[in-house]
Amino acid sequence: MTDKTDPPESKLTRSKQKWAEEGRFLTGRTARPEEERLPPGQHLTRDWPVLDLTGAPDIAPERWRLVVDGAVENPVSWDWAQFLAQPQRRFMSDIHCVTTWSRYDNVWEGLATRDLLEIVGPKDEAGFVVLHGYDNYTTNLTLADFAAPDALLAHRWSEQPISADHGGPLRLVVPHLYFWKSAKWLRRIEFRRVDAPGYWEVRGYHNRGDPWQEQRYSDDP
Ligand SMILES: Nc1nc2c(c(=O)[nH]1)N[C@H]1C(S)=C(S)[C@@H](COP(=O)(O)O)O[C@H]1N2
Ligand SMILES: [Mo]
């Protein structure tokens, strides 16, 4: 370990470098300079508010499926065990809700959307993704936004299974957009050639929802 080409501090240096690389990859936009970390018009909260239309739907574990279909080469329908057998990653990111709260440093675990894309292989014409929840909520993303390096299908938060209130057993997390894009109780991921605005997007929310551009409502730039 301690030969002359390997000074004593190098192990720590390597670790720090590794953390920095992971941090850059894992935290995505949270690696912004501190003064840019909180998007305009947002305030920090330490708790985690619950926001949805109807509350958690009843999903019997043995009947749970995740369907990924539409414009993909290899559509899948996974039960829970099959989902858990997919590659798992751990990302840390910030939440920004359009109702103006933000919450820093959320640790998520699950299947990265990039890994999912490797598995299902979107067809060339696939430019958009629609997320469907077990509560029939929908929200839409471009394929590029869905494929963000810190986006994932998450089943754990803070080392615990995600509670039903917060979208368990499985929710999407797309940290670089307002949180309404992060569909809870995921049931289906539909790849599409043509965009299809979701529940809030047809009710006046912005089609993309970038917090740093304050894309809250459809008449925002
Ligand atoms: N399936 C589903 N996903 C959903 C919603 C919903 O009503 N149903 N609400 C969205 C909105 S508007 C927000 S702000 C976040 C809230 O997530 P949280 O309750 O975990 O904070 O979930 C989003 N995902
Ligand atoms: Mo929301």
Q: How far is the CA of 41 from the centre of ligand 2 (A)?
A: 15
Please report whether residue 39 resides in a domain: no
Q: What is the pLDDT of residue 31?
A: 53
User: Is residue 34 scored above 90 in pLDDT?
Assistant: no
Instruction: Give 131's strand partners.
Output: 139, 189
Please report whether residue 2 resides in a domain: no
Q: Which residues line ligand 1 (CB under 6 A)?
A: 48-53, 97, 133, 135, 137, 166-167, 179-180, 182-185
Q: Which atom of ligand 1 lies nearest, measured to the CA of 95?
A: 21
Report the domain count for the chain: 1
Verify cis geometry, omega within 30 degrees of 0, for the bond prior to 57: no
Average pLDDT rounded to a whole number, residues 160-171 = 98
Mind listing the pLDDT tens digit for each residue in 67-103?
A: 999 999 999 999 999 999 999 999 999 999 999 999 9
How far, in Å, CA of 163 to CA of 56, rounded? 9
Please report whether residue 40 resides in a domain: no
Please report whether residue 28 resides in a domain: no
pTM: 0.87
Please report whether residue 198 resides in a domain: yes
Q: Residue 174 is part of which domain span?
A: 63-213
Are 93 and 173 in contact by the 8 Å Cβ rule? The answer is yes
Are 64 and 133 in contact by the 8 Å Cβ rule? The answer is no
Q: Which atom of ligand 1 lies nearest, measured to the CA of 178?
A: 14
Please report whether residue 103 resides in a domain: yes
Q: For 38-58, b where at least 16 C-beta lie within 10 A, e where not — what string?
A: bbeebeeeeebeeebeeebee
Token readout for 57 is: 């739907």
User: Is residue 32 scored above 70 in pLDDT?
Assistant: no
**Mean pLDDT taken over the chain:** 90
CATH number assigned to the domain comprising residue 175: 3.90.420.10
Please report whether residue 86 resides in a domain: yes
Please report whether residue 100 resides in a domain: yes
Band (133; pLDDT cuts 50, 70, 90): very high
Band (3; pLDDT cuts 50, 70, 90): very low
For the CA of 95, the nearest ligand:
1
